[in-house]
Amino acid sequence: MNDSVQDQADRAHGLMTLLAKGLVESSMQRTTSSLGDRSQYIGMSDIGRALECPRAAVGRKLFGIGDDLAHQHDLPSLLARQLRLQRGHWFEAGIAQVFRQQRLPVIEQLEIAMSHHGVLIRAHLDFVFASPVGQPTVRILELKSCEQIPSTLYSSYETQVYGQVGLLHALWDQPAFGIHGETERQGCSGLTFPQICHARFGIEMPADPSLVDIEAWVLCLSMSDAKAFGPYLPDDTMLSLCLNKAEELWLEFDASKVSGAGLDGLATAHGFHPLCSWCEFNADCPKFDGLDQQQWSDTLDRFKDLKVRQGELEVEISEIEDGLRTAYALSDVGGSWINAGQHRFRVSAQNGRRTLNKEQLRLELMAVLGEGKADEIIAKCESEGKPFDRLTVSRINKRS
């Protein structure tokens, strides 16, 4: 590398380091100001995580999820993790702005606190709308940022939102509600939910929550899509599950802390779990017990780089295809080819792919032959492909 290329690379690295430092610091500040000391209580997201993987949930309680820039040598992976973690906060700030502009009666980051068998439990609700007009209503909205919008909601998110709506309903008339201080408003704590509504909006909500239509929703947002899941209603069984899981998690956390055993002996998630690739505790997770064969390290690095480039190339190819289609439509050449240098192109109509709607076929067969016969025929016509070997390569997230 000559001097100027090296200089450019150094400056680019400096910029990335500055960005990483800012992300880490702002993440720590935001967590402290809005969530307080998370090692002192169990939050709803902890419960959702514990249901998926007790080891990861206890790990977050014991070690936090913050990055330490001073000991972090893998800048790209730190940036990737921070951007993924912080995207949710940025979405939240943008959506809050939208609600404020519409002057909707919304409480941001409502906190509900309670003690269950001596375990402090806190829920932080992203947005809560309240209206006394007609039948009084309350709507909880929990935002989740996703790489891709899921077709069904993850059970950890559902558990979290069931816990939120259950606590709001169960503690409605108890001094369990508060809001952290904000730049332009004073925080408050130790109020009932109707008192909070009165203090915030000057509205009177009933003292009895059974008179109120209460629902919770989850809004999943990706960079280019959104989907709402719900409604989730107060449910005593789901609330008990949440509270019991919170107690169980606290006892495991406490035992690990007192014994100094760290994460040894804690249960892990079963089977394939999408969070394992991002998990901060995957480096020594027993789920991935294996042999060290360092000679494959370069091959795996190269393989992952190529997969990233493959994704980038696919995006680029798709953009060029779209551009050529548009150019062809605008050229109005009546189905002729367009020649350019060594290549030519045209856009022509093709028949759509014919597919068989299995569910529709089953319904049609059922109408004629009955359910048992329909299933029997479909089972006879189904075949299973040969088993195959699947290669899985995942990142080891080394903690400093």
Residues that bind ligand SF4 (CB under 6 A): 53, 55-56, 268-269, 273, 275-276, 279, 281-282, 285, 287
- What's the closest the beta carbon of residue 391 comes to ligand SF4, in angstroms? 19
Local structure of residue 353 (DSSP, 8 states)? P
Spatial distance between the Cα atoms of 222 and 237, rounded to a whole number of angstroms: 31
Residue (146 or 191) nearer to ligand SF4, CB: 146
- What's the closest the beta carbon of residue 268 comes to ligand SF4, in angstroms? 4
- What's the closest the beta carbon of residue 49 comes to ligand SF4, in angstroms? 8
Residue (60 or 139) nearer to ligand SF4, CB: 60
Residue (49 or 200) nearer to ligand SF4, CB: 49
Spatial distance between the Cα atoms of 250 and 57, rounded to a whole number of angstroms: 10
Which among 107, 97, 103, 100 has a CA at the least distance from the CA of 198?
107
- What's the closest the beta carbon of residue 284 comes to ligand SF4, in angstroms? 9
- What's the closest the beta carbon of residue 162 comes to ligand SF4, in angstroms? 21
- What's the closest the beta carbon of residue 385 comes to ligand SF4, in angstroms? 28
- What's the closest the beta carbon of residue 277 comes to ligand SF4, in angstroms? 8
Residue (105 or 150) nearer to ligand SF4, CB: 150
Residue (180 or 399) nearer to ligand SF4, CB: 399
Q: Are 61 and 38 in contact (CB under 8 A)?
A: yes
Residue (116 or 273) nearer to ligand SF4, CB: 273
Burial of 50 (0-12, 13-18, 19+ CB in 10 A): buried
Spatial distance between the Cα atoms of 44 and 84, rounded to a whole number of angstroms: 20
The token pair that represents 6 in the structure block:
């090296």
Annotate 165-221 with DSSP letters as a single string. Answer: HHHHHHTTTSS-EEE---SSS--EEEE-HHHHHHHHH--PPPSSGGGSEEEEEEEEE
The rounded radius of gyration (Å) of the Cα atoms in the chain is: 27
Residue (21 or 287) nearer to ligand SF4, CB: 287
Spatial distance between the Cα atoms of 316 and 228, rounded to a whole number of angstroms: 30
Phi, psi of 190 (to 5 degrees): 70, 30
Q: Are 282 and 396 in contact (CB under 8 A)?
A: yes
